[in-house]
């Protein structure tokens, strides 16, 4: 069989999970090739809000809790050295946030959040009274009767983080190829090459990190991979017409206003089951602005700089898929992180790297194996 290129490990997908896997593999000395059809971080990893919250969300508290906190700590350990090594300043920081309260039902729904942040090392929580929320900023709605202040979540530029991970891998000897995978070359349950439009790339292992397009793997491997896209739209606004804005992320009613550098506030995000449609819609823009103006009425006057769309990969149980593809000796799946993709990227990438190079991992991935869907 003639190969136009050969690699120890091929990573299919240039998003956060694939690039994290390549990063950790190359740090361990493996020769890796990343295959990406449209460019690094060209999908959800490049257009995420870049917020890292390991304490709340689907599966937290619960089965996602341990890996979420593990991966969050990996982020903290990674940031300084990765920026220094690559020169990609993805602007990582720990953030303050306020959940704005408009009635007592809001207060009740936040009780568990308050206890979680209060009782977790490295995080903070404090209730804000009516007078305290009004003293935060005159921009917050006069209808607010209080708030929940929390500190400790992470914030970063997810596109630059993804590119930094890939850059480190490439500078360490890995290769990036922009092409489209069209199938696998296999023999007796083992992949010995990937078929691409440029030819066959030989390999010892393959990691499939295809995000919302992971169901393509089904026809290649005969393995059920129930991943579907969840569309999310975000508005990027500039506050030149709004005046002094509170230096906090603000949350209410299922949306958030994320403070970004350069006088920007991002408003997000929608959750739409629209297949692979990536159309920007006026309906989403109006909904996001309407809900944001409940929190900060003057946000309606802000200048909309951009409206972005991304597709997040979700599974039926909203948990990631991490592990060896059933029936295959050298095919690995790392996908389905949903709305927690940027947060979980380091842990998912490192765990797959460990499984390939060490046959085991200390990262808590129990319950995320592909076998649960077969």
pLDDT, position 4: 78
For the cut 80, the answer to whether the pLDDT of residue 186 exceeds it is yes
Was domain 5-86+158-227+316-373 assigned CATH 3.50.50.60?
Answer: yes
Question: Would you give the distance in Å from CA 331 to the centre of its chain?
Answer: 23
Q: What are the Cα distances from residue 117, in Å, to 55, 97, 124?
A: 7, 12, 5
The C-alpha atoms of residue 209 and residue 13 are separated, in whole angstroms, by 5
For the residues 351-364, what does the mean pLDDT come to?
98
Q: What is the pLDDT of residues 303-344, one digit of tens each?
A: 999 999 999 999 999 999 999 999 999 999 999 999 999 999
The C-alpha atoms of residue 232 and residue 249 are separated, in whole angstroms, by 19
CB 150 within 8 A of CB 110: no
The C-alpha atoms of residue 123 and residue 130 are separated, in whole angstroms, by 23
Q: What is the pLDDT of residues 107-141, one digit of tens each?
A: 999 999 999 999 999 999 999 999 999 999 999 99
CB 368 within 8 A of CB 66: no
The C-alpha atoms of residue 336 and residue 322 are separated, in whole angstroms, by 9
Name the token pair of 76. 């903290």
pLDDT band with cut points at 50, 70 and 90 for residue 241: low
Q: What are the Cα distances from residue 43, in Å, to 52, 182, 196, 239, 311?
A: 18, 19, 20, 26, 7
Taking the model in full, what pTM does it have?
Answer: 0.96
Percent of the residues in the chain that have a pLDDT greater than 70, as a whole number: 99
Query: Count of CB atoms within 10 A of residue 262's CB?
Result: 7
pLDDT band with cut points at 50, 70 and 90 for residue 243: low
Q: What 3-state class would DSSP assign to 232?
A: strand
Q: What is the pLDDT of residues 85-102, one digit of tens each?
A: 999 999 999 999 999 999
The C-alpha atoms of residue 356 and residue 346 are separated, in whole angstroms, by 16
Q: Is 41 exposed, middle or buried (CB count within 10 Å of its CB: 0-12, 13-18, 19+)? A: buried
**Annotated domain spans of the chain:** 5-86+158-227+316-373, 93-155+229-314
pLDDT, position 242: 61
pLDDT, position 5: 86
Output Rg (C-alpha) for the chain, integer angstroms. Answer: 21
CB 44 within 8 A of CB 187: no
Q: Is 332 exposed, middle or buried (CB count within 10 Å of its CB: 0-12, 13-18, 19+)? A: buried
> If you ran DSSP here, which 8-state letter would residue 215 be given?
T
Percent of the residues in the chain that have a pLDDT greater than 90, as a whole number: 91
Was domain 93-155+229-314 assigned CATH 3.40.50.300?
Answer: no
């Amino acid at each position: 069989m003639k190969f136009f290129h050969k690699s120890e490990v091929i990573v299919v997908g240039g998003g956060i999970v694939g690039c994290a896997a390549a990063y950790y593999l190359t740090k361990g000395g493996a020769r890796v090739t990343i295959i990406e059809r449209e460019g690094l971080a060209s999908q959800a990893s490049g257009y995420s809000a870049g917020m890292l919250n390991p304490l709340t969300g689907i599966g937290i508290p619960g089965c996602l809790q341990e890996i979420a906190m593990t991966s969050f700590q990996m982020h903290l350990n990674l940031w300084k050295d990765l920026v220094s090594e690559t020169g990609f300043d993805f602007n990582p920081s720990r953030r303050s946030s306020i959940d704005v309260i408009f009635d007592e039902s809001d207060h009740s729904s936040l009780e568990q959040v308050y206890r979680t942040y209060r009782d977790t090392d490295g995080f903070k929580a404090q209730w804000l009274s009516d007078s305290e929320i009004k003293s935060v900023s005159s921009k917050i709605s006069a209808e607010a009767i209080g708030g929940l202040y929390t500190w400790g979540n992470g914030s970063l530029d997810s596109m630059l983080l993804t590119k930094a991970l890939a850059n480190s891998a490439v500078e360490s000897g890995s290769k990036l190829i922009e092409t489209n995978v069209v199938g696998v070359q296999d023999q007796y349950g083992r992949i010995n090459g990937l078929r691409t439009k440029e030819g066959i790339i030989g390999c010892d292992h393959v990691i499939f990190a295809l995000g919302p397009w992971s169901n393509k793997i089904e026809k290649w491997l005969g393995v059920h991979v129930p991943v579907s896209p969840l569309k999310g739209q975000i508005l990027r606004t500039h506050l030149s017409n709004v005046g002094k804005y509170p230096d906090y992320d603000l949350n209410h009613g299922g949306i958030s206003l994320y403070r970004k550098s350069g006088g920007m506030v991002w408003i997000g995000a929608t959750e739409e089951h629209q297949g692979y449609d990536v159309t920007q819609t006026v309906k989403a823009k109006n909904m996001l602005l309407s809900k944001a103006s409940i929190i900060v009425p003057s946000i309606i006057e802000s200048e909309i700089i951009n409206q972005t769309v991304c597709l997040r990969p979700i599974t039926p149980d909203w948990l990631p898929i991490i592990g060896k593809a059933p029936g295959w000796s050298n095919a690995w799946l790392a996908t389905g992180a949903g709305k927690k993709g940027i947060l979980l990227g380091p842990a998912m990438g490192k765990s797959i790297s460990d499984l390939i190079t060490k046959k085991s991992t200390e990262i808590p991935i129990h319950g995320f194996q592909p076998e649960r869907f077969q």
